[in-house]
Chain A
């Protein structure tokens, strides 16, 4: 980023040390540690604390916080900031995320790195502003119009909100696409121990820069990894950033052939690197006859059900999604081949469970433990599902 508007006493980006920290604040600190210098947002429960923290912290590091008139503008502004060279983010909840989907599509087709945090709450519509849900997981995957691949991470603690926000920036920079942090109202509002390592121990990736002079540069000519290098505006490359279907120059080409070429590359640049992106955690699965597949706050609640089931002698383990998208298809297929059944507790009426079912390929029954949100599952409901599968 060039000289900032805010000439500030340069405070530390990474607040190295041990903290007792709110999840939403840990998210903001993760962004700063990753090098974020631009936040545009709009207040919304239960994500507001991230914006508040950024409004306080960004000026300390010479960054810009701007409160926009709505989420449509917030999303547009972070894309613009990204093209000016900033690492940029916004944070919202379901109603705001719905508005952002328009320009998330713009971010996908123009290959603009940025991070969008969704602290999920009860829905549809205004729903339960202050209470938890996990009902936007498919919205993150399919919400913007058209065919594309999404990258979405789902932290289960304030510590992981810190860690995965950094990872979200790194993935956005590497794959040149908006990356989602799909957390929930409970993780966002939990206050727990958060350890922030020294800045030099935080791995931070930067976007790939052009290696050719401006006169040879084409805005959307990809390298072998299918990702085009990205200059900043104002550097003489005369970028051509186009929301229409475009060729390697960025020029609009309104044909089926050009469209297929572009859309296929946008999908493949993520699909072909899925193994580098996908992350999950396995616990007590070595001897398991039953597996729980869950994420976010529901994965934590499921741990109690696992304890109770193990006390009853049911061998059950946890497969926790850290990357929701791309979905860990191969790992779930392998898992389904070696267990009697899979239980999927989530705070919706069946979203990630559909993916689990798809990838299990009929090798094991998949039992959804649905919950509309507003509160977390009763672990006994999850236990009952475990028992039914173990029988």
Chain B
């Protein structure tokens, strides 16, 4: 590579596997923005990138690990968190980040999510919430809005969705924030805070899926959905978490929701004082 070519590199490219670009995501999808924020946060964090592992499950968001030039693990559906926990506990020098979607982390992986939060394992979970199963063509999931149309809720969704910040805070997360893909700087800042905070940290990113969700719910294309976020978003730090649930057409509360200290699982393990040898 010549010096001139080097100068043309985007700063984010050091953390991208360039030979895997172009990515598979649809036009208007929010995942590129989320990944871009993450790269900025990772670079800014000052953390040793050689020691940073990114673990994903299955789905569109599950593909993030495969584009990042870090130790990357694309695992099975729902199991990114326990896999990451194994990595982290076996080598505490590693910084583990789980990057996945709402279906992966909250439906099939929901049990692992709450238990990792309960233990307060040192890991950052970035949950890209697009309210449906995008990869498989737009089925309803545990965050789908009431009344929303998906390929499996033809007459409108009748299931109550999870309020993710309330769920993970209740389970024990020490840091919880939510932003939409409109709030790039704030999102990056929250990711940075999450990466640097010891314990189980969780960032929910509300992200457009124009192909499968926006189209069926009159949210328009990616850009129009971003406008919708812009209009509906209300920043409220540390609100009562019962009030941050999401409904179609209603306000979207974003901000830093939880920041507290609890001993991490690693700190608790370090206190073990085994006796003897037999």
Chain A residues proximal to chain B, CB less than 8 Å: 1-9, 11-12, 15, 37-38, 40, 56, 59-60, 64, 66, 68-70, 72-74, 76-86, 88, 102-103, 105-106, 232-244, 251-252
**Complex CA distance for A68 and B73, rounded to whole angstroms:** 20
What residues of chain A lie closer than 8 Å to B278, measured between beta carbons? 11-12, 15
Q: Give 1 or 0 for each of B67-89: 1 = CB within 8 Å of chain A CB.
A: 00111111110110111111111
Judged by a CB distance under 8 angstroms, whether B216 is at the interface is no
- Contacting pair B269 A64 (CB below 8 A): yes
- Contacting pair A241 B74 (CB below 8 A): yes
What residues of chain A lie closer than 8 Å to B46, measured between beta carbons? none
Query: Which 3 A/B pairs are nearest by Cβ-Cβ distance?
Result: A80-B86, A11-B277, A84-B90
- Contacting pair A233 B270 (CB below 8 A): no
**Complex CA distance for A12 and B89, rounded to whole angstroms:** 21
**Complex CA distance for A125 and B5, rounded to whole angstroms:** 62
Chain B residues proximal to chain A, CB less than 8 Å: 17, 19-20, 50-51, 53, 55, 58, 66, 69-76, 78-79, 81-94, 111-112, 115, 266, 269-270, 272, 274-278
- Contacting pair B90 A81 (CB below 8 A): yes
Shortest CB-to-CB span from B113 to chain A, Å, is 10
**Complex CA distance for A78 and B72, rounded to whole angstroms:** 17
- Contacting pair B86 A82 (CB below 8 A): yes
What residues of chain B lie closer than 8 Å to A69, measured between beta carbons? 82, 111-112, 115
- Contacting pair B111 A236 (CB below 8 A): no
**Complex CA distance for A240 and B115, rounded to whole angstroms:** 27
- Contacting pair A238 B72 (CB below 8 A): yes
Q: List 29 A-B contacts (CB under 8 A).
A: A1-B91, A2-B91, A5-B266, A6-B269, A9-B277, A12-B278, A40-B82, A60-B277, A70-B111, A73-B82, A73-B85, A73-B112, A76-B75, A76-B86, A77-B85, A79-B75, A80-B85, A80-B87, A80-B90, A81-B86, A82-B86, A84-B89, A88-B86, A103-B79, A233-B53, A233-B87, A235-B50, A238-B69, A251-B19
What residues of chain B lie closer than 8 Å to A15, measured between beta carbons? 277-278
**Complex CA distance for A351 and B71, rounded to whole angstroms:** 41
Shortest CB-to-CB span from A150 to chain B, Å, is 18
Shortest CB-to-CB span from A18 to chain B, Å, is 13
- Contacting pair A236 B50 (CB below 8 A): yes
Shortest CB-to-CB span from A170 to chain B, Å, is 19
What residues of chain A lie closer than 8 Å to B70, measured between beta carbons? 238
Shortest CB-to-CB span from A375 to chain B, Å, is 34
7 further contact pairs, Cβ within 8 A, besides A56-B274, A79-B83, A241-B74: A69-B115, A77-B83, A77-B85, A81-B87, A233-B53, A233-B91, A234-B71
What residues of chain A lie closer than 8 Å to B87, measured between beta carbons? 80-81, 83-84, 233
What residues of chain B lie closer than 8 Å to A84, measured between beta carbons? 86-91, 94
B86, B111, B266: the one contacting A40 at CB < 8 Å is: B86
* A5-B266, A72-B79, A251-B20 known; A38-B277 Cβ under 8 A: no
What residues of chain B lie closer than 8 Å to A37, measured between beta carbons? 90
* A7-B270, A60-B277, A81-B89 known; A102-B82 Cβ under 8 A: no
Shortest CB-to-CB span from B216 to chain A, Å, is 26
What residues of chain B lie closer than 8 Å to A237, measured between beta carbons? 71
Shortest CB-to-CB span from B137 to chain A, Å, is 16
Shortest CB-to-CB span from A210 to chain B, Å, is 14
- Contacting pair A68 B82 (CB below 8 A): yes
**Closest Cβ neighbor of B266 among chain A residues:** A5
**Complex CA distance for A240 and B75, rounded to whole angstroms:** 11
- Contacting pair A73 B79 (CB below 8 A): yes
What residues of chain B lie closer than 8 Å to A40, measured between beta carbons? 82, 86
- Contacting pair A12 B50 (CB below 8 A): no
**Complex CA distance for A37 and B17, rounded to whole angstroms:** 33
**Complex CA distance for A236 and B58, rounded to whole angstroms:** 25
What residues of chain B lie closer than 8 Å to A72, measured between beta carbons? 78-79, 82, 112
What residues of chain A lie closer than 8 Å to B72, measured between beta carbons? 238-241
Shortest CB-to-CB span from A286 to chain B, Å, is 43
What residues of chain A lie closer than 8 Å to B20, measured between beta carbons? 251
- Contacting pair B66 A251 (CB below 8 A): yes
Shortest CB-to-CB span from B57 to chain A, Å, is 9
What residues of chain A lie closer than 8 Å to B76, measured between beta carbons? 76, 102-103, 105-106, 243
